[in-house]
Structure 1
Amino acid sequence: MRSEKVERMREQILNGPIVKTLLILAYPLIINQLVQVLYNLTDTFWLGKLGRLELSAPGTAWPLVWFFMSIGMGFATAGFAFVSQYVGAKDYDRANRYAGALYSLMLLFATAVGVSGVILAPYLLRLMGVSDTIFPYALRYTRVIFAGIPFSFTLFAFNFLLRAVGDTRTPVKINIGTVLLNLVLDPFFIFGWGPFPQLGVVGAAVATMLSNSLGSLIGGYLLFTGKVGIHLTPETLKPDFHFYSRIFRVGLPSSIGSSTTALGFVILTRVIFTVGRLYGEAHGLPHYEDVAFATYSITNRLTNFMFAFSDGISMAMGTMVGQSIGAGLYERAKKIAEKTMLINFAILSAGTILFAAFRVPIFRFFINDPAIIAESRKVVLYFSASLPFFGIFSAVNNTFNSAGHTKKSMVIGMIRLWGIRLPLSYGLGVLMRDTAGMWLGMGLSNVLGAVIALAWFLRGSWMRAIIEKH
């Protein structure tokens, strides 16, 4: 590990002005998040040219991909907490050794996930209740995405490790390159421009897989040549079972929390199709479940654009909180988290106002479907006002994870999704016999989840380190 560069960043994180340091760390992460959202929006734009069914295919695939990946991401989160806290404690050798062990573990796990996903995809899509009209598009898209999971996952691992040592710029440069490549490849593979085959929905998945593969290879090259803050070698990649036992102890709650959250969104997809079908039947509208889910897919893309800002700031906060706790500066960690919550709430409030004001032209940009545009009005009325509260929830969740207190993160995540969102979305949808109830249930889960998370944060039980100090 190049401790001179890391040491300079560590000094600023532990002693510099909180907001200024937060923004210095956050702006590359925000750019990175915006670039990722741009990729999602581009996919949605081009697939919208094919039709409502094709546009919906990625939205059915990602809850499944997220479910499998989230199992490993929980352990990656624990690894991030250890590496960042060891940097805060100035134990650079151990931080570097654990980074290598984590990287090799993630590579093996991702390979297993990719193979399993390709085989199980049709059964999982049926479990989600995907409509027969969308199913064939979703199946082809999902299988290609799973085939590329090992590359996607090692790229995520690269991002996690560099963020742990305070380098938020290098991953952004790589991610911008991969997304720009994806933007270029998308229409060529989807529509068969020039010498490329016309693959439709599958073309969007192929473009994604190729772009992530290139990013993963570049990230691996930088890690193994020591050109970034972490230097991986064959020695550091060797299994470290003592570290793995600690990773599993800390990471298991996060893994359970992340995977059950992802599973919750698989179930939420089924809720949307079910409520949409009930609403359609009650009002004589055939296949209204496809309208409901297409609206949800576009809404997700738009809210992700807003969350790009708050998520970037929350991730930067995670680096500062992790290193502050590693250095024993608990009150500073608390102030960092509180300032992040206020910034997130303000950003998402402004974004919500713009979303509500320009709803129609925004949705029409993706697909000029009167039924979807009409459904989007319910999104604004019953869901959008809850988005600023999710900014608070996200900040608290990142605080708990970065401190290594992953059980707390697991519990608040499960309460928000399984205890509040799923029951209310389905229950209110059936009670009102309208998709408006479904959107209202989603909105209430953000508000109530934020209140519960904030109350737990203020208790301060997360303010202790998880690393061994010598």
Structure 2
Amino acid sequence: MDYEKKRDMILHGDIKKALLKMAIPLLLSNLSQTLYNLTDTYWVGKIGSLEVAAASFVWPVLFFVITIGIGISSAGTSLMSQYNGLRDKDNARLIAGQIFSLTIVFSIVMTIIGIIVSPYVLRWMGATGELYDKSLTYLRIMFLSTPVSYTYMVFNSVKTSEGNTLTPMIISSLGVVLNMILDPLFIINFRMGIIGAAIASVISQGVFLILIYPLLFRKKDGIYIKKCNLKLRMDKVIKIFKIGLPSTIGTSMESLGFIILNSFIVTYGNTTLAAYSVANRINSMVFMPGMAIGGAIVSIIGQNIGADQIDRVKKAFKTAALYSFTISMTLGIILFIYAENALKIFLPLEQDLPTVIEGTEYMKLMALSLFLVGMNDLLNGTFQGSGHTLYSMMISMGRLWIFRIPMIIIFQNFTDLGSTGVWYAMVLSNFLTTIMGFLFFFFGKWERRVVEKSPVYDQD
């Protein structure tokens, strides 16, 4: 489907059809990324649960490093979607060039900073002994893939704003297949352990840049980048940061919150940390449909707000909410029933039984509240598509800093729940954040367009 047909489908076609056509490739892409993580977990788990814990322990740090890219690319998606709704392809292309230049600069800076400060961050998080050594080695190698991650986010932003979620899915899936091949080779055959997992990840992410660059810079009817688009224009940069900064703050504070969360979890011992780590990898599979629907709604909301079709925006949200709730409830029931069996796939050794028991408790609690995660993703996607990312920031920050972390501290100090208190705090924080999001939806002013048709710079 070409650019104009996608645009017509989003603005005038059947909402259900448009949502499914965009959500299904996103779901497959998210599933491929989850398989990417599960592949690492499976093969690293062959070495031991400590290695699994180390790989998961550093995830919030890696996420924190890419938050600037997330903010810039989310702003780009919002702006390009609304320019597409206005039929203003020239300004959409200019935004694509601006976010590409910004992300390249920030990715290099964040890679250097990350490698330098990682020992101090891990110590601050409470890592010691073998956990510290393995986490540090893994983290520093993974930082080398930061520029690749930033570039892929730009590519995904451009394609999503067009309504094209299929191409990013194909490229993402190719990376997963390569990682599945390289993981056992480096981890087991070459006996490199957790270092091999990191190297396999960096290689599998980097190889497919050769596909991304031609797709970003090749002339076509939709959005592509010309060399002149790469020169930063102050008015566009200000607009990008105005919309992207709340997303960056929200995601960075969220990742910092997960770092704090990990520091609480590690106080209960490596068994609890490993249970949380492996269960989260499995949970991520059932989170995918909600994430896909939340991702698909971004362009639909953005383009229709750009075209001043607010009634269609609300219809799209209601349709997406029904899909998200139904799918999440169904998957939640399945997860609740088969939680223990799923954990035993990744923790097959007899000495892992305590980890399985604790992980099962956590997974069953999350299964009962799975629909809340889907609603949060949908609300975030709606606010991002509208360009009013301050609401998304408040949801992201509120979930951890207003609700979850304070509740963990209360449960830890005033109850004898132990690690179970952490799981209760996670479920309750998801519930309260969903209420907050719907209050913003019904009473906020997110329906206003954030772009106007404006003169463009010389494109040739």
Task: Quickly name the TM-score band, shorter chain normalised.
Answer: over 0.9
Q: Which residue of 1 aligns with 2:16?
A: 19
2:319 aligned to 309, 328, 339, which one?
339
Amino acid corresponding to residue 446 of structure 2 in structure 1: W
Between 223-232 and 169-178, the greater mean CA deviation after superposition: 223-232
2:70 aligned to 54, 69, 73, which one?
73
1:290 aligned to 270, 274, 277, which one?
270
Distance 2:81 2:161 in 1: 5
Give the 5 Å matches for 1:112-127: 112-127=109-124
Q: How far 1:250 moved relative to its partner?
A: 1.6
Distance 2:311 2:416 in 1: 47
Distance 2:286 2:225 in 1: 35
Q: How far 1:271 moved relative to its partner?
A: 1.2
Distance 1:221 1:79 in 2: 19
What value does the CA root-mean-square deviation take over the aligned residues?
A: 1.5
Name the SS for the 1:462 alignment partner.
coil
Name the SS for the 1:90 alignment partner.
coil
Amino acid corresponding to residue 240 of structure 2 in structure 1: I
Distance 1:294 1:227 in 2: 48
Please tell me whether the aligned partners of residues 429 and 436 of structure 1 are also in contact (alpha carbons under 8 angstroms). no
Please tell me whether the aligned partners of residues 131 and 290 of structure 1 are also in contact (alpha carbons under 8 angstroms). no
Name the SS for the 1:26 alignment partner.
helix
Aligned residues: 450
Distance 1:319 1:50, change over 3 A: same
1:353 aligned to 313, 328, 333, which one?
333
Distance 1:332 1:252 in 2: 28
Q: How far 1:42 moved relative to its partner?
A: 0.7
Could you report, residue by residue, the CA deviation over 1:385-426 in whole angstroms, capped at 9, with x for unpaired residues? 122111111111111111000111111221111000111123
Please tell me whether the aligned partners of residues 141 and 202 of structure 1 are also in contact (alpha carbons under 8 angstroms). yes
Distance 1:228 1:173 in 2: 21
Distance 1:409 1:131 in 2: 35
Amino acid corresponding to residue 203 of structure 1 in structure 2: G
Give the 5 Å matches for 1:124-135: 124-135=121-132
1:411 aligned to 394, 407, 410, which one?
394
Could you report, residue by residue, the CA deviation over 1:123-172 in whole angstroms, capped at 9, with x for unpaired residues? 11112112433111111110001012111210121111111111111111
Amino acid corresponding to residue 305 of structure 2 in structure 1: I
Q: How far 1:380 moved relative to its partner?
A: 4.0
Please tell me whether the aligned partners of residues 88 and 324 of structure 1 are also in contact (alpha carbons under 8 angstroms). yes
1:389 aligned to 369, 372, 379, which one?
372
Residues 1:250 and 2:243 aligned together: yes
Q: How far 1:262 moved relative to its partner?
A: 0.9
TM-score w.r.t. length of structure 2: 0.95
Distance 1:330 1:432 in 2: 50
Q: Which residue of 1 aligns with 2:457?
A: none
Could you report, residue by residue, the CA deviation over 1:239-295 in whole angstroms, capped at 9, with x for unpaired residues? 122100111112111111111111111111111112x1xxxxxxxxxxxx1111111
Q: How far 1:452 moved relative to its partner?
A: 1.4
Q: Which residue of 2 aligns with 1:322?
A: 302
Distance 1:230 1:469, change over 3 A: closer
Distance 2:427 2:403 in 1: 10
Distance 1:58 1:333 in 2: 40
Distance 2:42 2:443 in 1: 45
Q: Which residue of 1 aligns with 2:403?
A: 420
Distance 2:34 2:346 in 1: 14
Distance 1:130 1:457 in 2: 40
Q: How far 1:225 moved relative to its partner?
A: 2.5
Distance 2:317 2:263 in 1: 35
Q: Which residue of 2 aligns with 1:262?
A: 255
TM-score w.r.t. length of structure 1: 0.93
Which structure 1 segments of 5+ residues have no match?
277-288
Please tell me whether the aligned partners of residues 387 and 446 of structure 1 are also in contact (alpha carbons under 8 angstroms). no
1:469 aligned to 443, 453, 457, which one?
453
Q: Which residue of 2 aligns with 1:305?
A: 285
Please tell me whether the aligned partners of residues 383 and 440 of structure 1 are also in contact (alpha carbons under 8 angstroms). no
Please tell me whether the aligned partners of residues 272 and 358 of structure 2 are also in contact (alpha carbons under 8 angstroms). yes
Report % sequence identity.
36
Q: How far 1:340 moved relative to its partner?
A: 1.3
Please tell me whether the aligned partners of residues 250 and 404 of structure 1 are also in contact (alpha carbons under 8 angstroms). yes
Q: How far 1:227 moved relative to its partner?
A: 6.0
Which structure 2 segments of 5+ residues have no match?
455-460
Amino acid corresponding to residue 241 of structure 2 in structure 1: F
2:57 aligned to 55, 60, 79, which one?
60
Distance 2:317 2:65 in 1: 29
Distance 1:293 1:119, change over 3 A: same
